[in-house]
Protein backbone atom coordinates (compact mmCIF):
# COMPACT_ATOMS: atom_id res chain seq x y z
CA UNK A 1 0.00 0.00 0.00
CA UNK A 2 1.42 3.37 -0.95
CA UNK A 3 1.86 6.14 1.61
CA UNK A 4 -0.86 8.27 -0.01
CA UNK A 5 -3.31 5.38 -0.09
CA UNK A 6 -2.51 4.49 3.53
CA UNK A 7 -3.21 8.10 4.53
CA UNK A 8 -6.52 8.03 2.68
CA UNK A 9 -7.59 4.76 4.25
CA UNK A 10 -6.55 5.99 7.69
CA UNK A 11 -8.35 9.33 7.26
CA UNK A 12 -11.56 7.69 6.08
CA UNK A 13 -11.48 5.00 8.76
CA UNK A 14 -10.83 7.60 11.46
CA UNK A 15 -13.71 9.76 10.29
CA UNK A 16 -16.04 6.78 10.23
CA UNK A 17 -15.01 5.53 13.65
CA UNK A 18 -15.63 8.97 15.11
CA UNK A 19 -19.28 8.69 14.06
CA UNK A 20 -22.08 7.31 16.23
CA UNK A 21 -21.65 3.74 14.98
CA UNK A 22 -19.08 1.81 13.02
CA UNK A 23 -20.86 -1.27 11.72
CA UNK A 24 -20.52 -2.59 8.22
CA UNK A 25 -23.71 -2.39 6.22
CA UNK A 26 -25.04 -4.51 3.42
CA UNK A 27 -28.04 -4.17 1.16
CA UNK A 28 -30.26 -4.14 4.23
CA UNK A 29 -27.87 -2.14 6.41
CA UNK A 30 -26.52 -5.05 8.44
CA UNK A 31 -23.58 -6.64 6.63
CA UNK A 32 -20.77 -6.04 4.16
CA UNK A 33 -21.29 -3.99 1.01
CA UNK A 34 -23.43 -5.80 -1.56
CA UNK A 35 -21.22 -7.31 -4.26
CA UNK A 36 -21.98 -7.26 -7.98
CA UNK A 37 -20.05 -9.75 -10.08
CA UNK A 38 -18.31 -8.42 -13.19
CA UNK A 39 -20.48 -10.70 -15.35
CA UNK A 40 -23.66 -9.20 -13.87
CA UNK A 41 -22.43 -5.64 -14.34
CA UNK A 42 -21.62 -6.42 -17.98
CA UNK A 43 -25.08 -7.98 -18.48
CA UNK A 44 -26.70 -4.87 -17.01
CA UNK A 45 -24.68 -2.66 -19.36
CA UNK A 46 -25.60 -4.88 -22.33
CA UNK A 47 -29.27 -4.59 -21.33
CA UNK A 48 -28.98 -0.81 -21.38
CA UNK A 49 -29.36 -0.24 -17.66
CA UNK A 50 -27.77 3.05 -16.68
CA UNK A 51 -24.96 2.30 -14.26
CA UNK A 52 -22.77 4.78 -12.44
CA UNK A 53 -19.31 3.34 -11.91
CA UNK A 54 -17.20 5.10 -9.29
CA UNK A 55 -13.48 4.37 -9.62
CA UNK A 56 -11.79 4.62 -6.22
CA UNK A 57 -8.28 4.11 -7.55
CA UNK A 58 -5.75 6.96 -7.70
CA UNK A 59 -6.36 9.37 -10.60
CA UNK A 60 -3.15 8.21 -12.29
CA UNK A 61 -4.48 4.64 -12.47
CA UNK A 62 -7.87 5.87 -13.70
CA UNK A 63 -6.16 7.62 -16.62
CA UNK A 64 -4.56 4.37 -17.79
CA UNK A 65 -7.98 2.71 -18.14
CA UNK A 66 -11.36 2.50 -16.43
CA UNK A 67 -14.82 0.98 -16.76
CA UNK A 68 -17.17 2.52 -19.35
CA UNK A 69 -18.42 5.91 -18.22
CA UNK A 70 -16.73 5.65 -14.83
CA UNK A 71 -16.16 8.71 -12.67
CA UNK A 72 -12.87 9.05 -10.82
CA UNK A 73 -13.31 9.75 -7.12
CA UNK A 74 -10.16 8.39 -5.49
CA UNK A 75 -10.72 6.62 -2.19
CA UNK A 76 -9.20 9.41 -0.10
CA UNK A 77 -11.53 11.96 -1.78
CA UNK A 78 -14.82 10.24 -0.92
CA UNK A 79 -15.25 12.27 2.28
CA UNK A 80 -15.20 15.57 0.44
CA UNK A 81 -16.63 14.56 -2.96
CA UNK A 82 -19.43 12.16 -2.04
CA UNK A 83 -22.08 14.63 -3.26
CA UNK A 84 -20.85 13.90 -6.81
CA UNK A 85 -22.11 10.32 -6.48
CA UNK A 86 -25.68 9.88 -7.76
CA UNK A 87 -28.34 9.12 -5.15
CA UNK A 88 -30.56 7.41 -7.70
CA UNK A 89 -29.90 4.58 -10.09
CA UNK A 90 -27.41 1.81 -9.54
CA UNK A 91 -23.95 2.91 -8.35
CA UNK A 92 -21.07 0.44 -8.39
CA UNK A 93 -17.84 1.24 -6.55
CA UNK A 94 -14.65 -0.41 -7.70
CA UNK A 95 -10.91 -0.31 -7.27
CA UNK A 96 -7.97 -2.69 -7.64
CA UNK A 97 -8.13 -3.81 -4.03
CA UNK A 98 -9.82 -6.49 -1.92
CA UNK A 99 -13.50 -5.88 -1.06
CA UNK A 100 -12.74 -5.19 2.60
CA UNK A 101 -10.71 -2.11 1.58
CA UNK A 102 -13.79 -0.59 -0.07
CA UNK A 103 -15.95 -1.20 3.00
CA UNK A 104 -15.13 2.14 4.72
CA UNK A 105 -16.18 4.09 1.61
CA UNK A 106 -19.38 2.07 1.39
CA UNK A 107 -20.03 2.59 5.09
CA UNK A 108 -19.53 6.34 4.76
CA UNK A 109 -21.97 6.51 1.84
CA UNK A 110 -24.53 4.35 3.69
CA UNK A 111 -24.30 6.65 6.70
CA UNK A 112 -24.98 9.59 4.38
CA UNK A 113 -28.19 8.09 3.03
CA UNK A 114 -26.97 6.23 -0.05
CA UNK A 115 -28.97 3.04 -0.51
CA UNK A 116 -28.09 2.47 -4.17
CA UNK A 117 -24.40 1.56 -3.83
CA UNK A 118 -22.70 -1.79 -4.30
CA UNK A 119 -19.17 -3.02 -5.00
CA UNK A 120 -17.70 -4.70 -8.08
CA UNK A 121 -16.53 -7.94 -6.47
CA UNK A 122 -13.32 -8.54 -8.38
CA UNK A 123 -12.68 -4.88 -9.02
CA UNK A 124 -10.89 -3.50 -12.02
CA UNK A 125 -8.49 -6.47 -12.36
CA UNK A 126 -11.42 -8.90 -12.62
CA UNK A 127 -13.12 -6.72 -15.24
CA UNK A 128 -9.96 -6.59 -17.36
CA UNK A 129 -9.29 -10.32 -16.90
CA UNK A 130 -12.64 -11.08 -18.53
CA UNK A 131 -11.79 -8.92 -21.52
CA UNK A 132 -14.63 -6.43 -20.95
CA UNK A 133 -14.42 -3.00 -22.52
CA UNK A 134 -12.14 -0.45 -20.88
CA UNK A 135 -12.07 3.27 -21.68
CA UNK A 136 -8.97 5.45 -21.65
Q: What is the pLDDT of residue 29?
A: 60
Q: What is the pLDDT of residue 28?
A: 56
| Residue 7, pLDDT above cutoff 90 | no
Q: What percent of the chain has pLDDT over 90?
A: 71
**How does pLDDT run across 11-35, given as a tens digit for each residue?**
444 444 433 333 334 555 656 889 9
Q: What is the pLDDT of residue 33?
A: 86
Q: What is the pLDDT of residue 58?
A: 97
**How does pLDDT run across 41-75, given as a tens digit for each residue?**
999 999 999 999 999 999 999 999 999 999 999 99
Averaged confidence pLDDT in the chain? 84
Strand order of the β-sheet with 51-55 is 35-36, 117-120, 90-94, 51-55, 71-72
Q: Between residues 81 and 30, which one has the greater pLDDT?
A: 81
Q: What does the domain layout of the chain look like in residue ranges?
A: 3-129
Q: What is the pLDDT of residue 18?
A: 37
Q: Rounded to two decimals, what is the model's pTM?
A: 0.80
**Helix (H), strand (E), coil (C) string for the chain:** CCHHHHHHHHHHHHHHHCCCCCCCCCCCCCCCCCEECHHHHHHHHHCCCCEEEEECCCHHHHHHCECCCCEECCHHHHHHHHHHCCCCCEEEEECCCCHHHHHHHHHHHHHCCCCCEEEECCHHHHHHHCCCCCEC
CATH superfamily of 3-129: Rhodanese-like domain (3.40.250.10)
Q: What is the pLDDT of residue 16?
A: 41
Amino acid sequence: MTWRRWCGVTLLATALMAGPAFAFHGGDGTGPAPVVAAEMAQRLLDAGEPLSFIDLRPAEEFKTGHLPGARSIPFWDVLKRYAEIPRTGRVILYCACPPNEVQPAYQFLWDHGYRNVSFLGEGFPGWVKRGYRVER
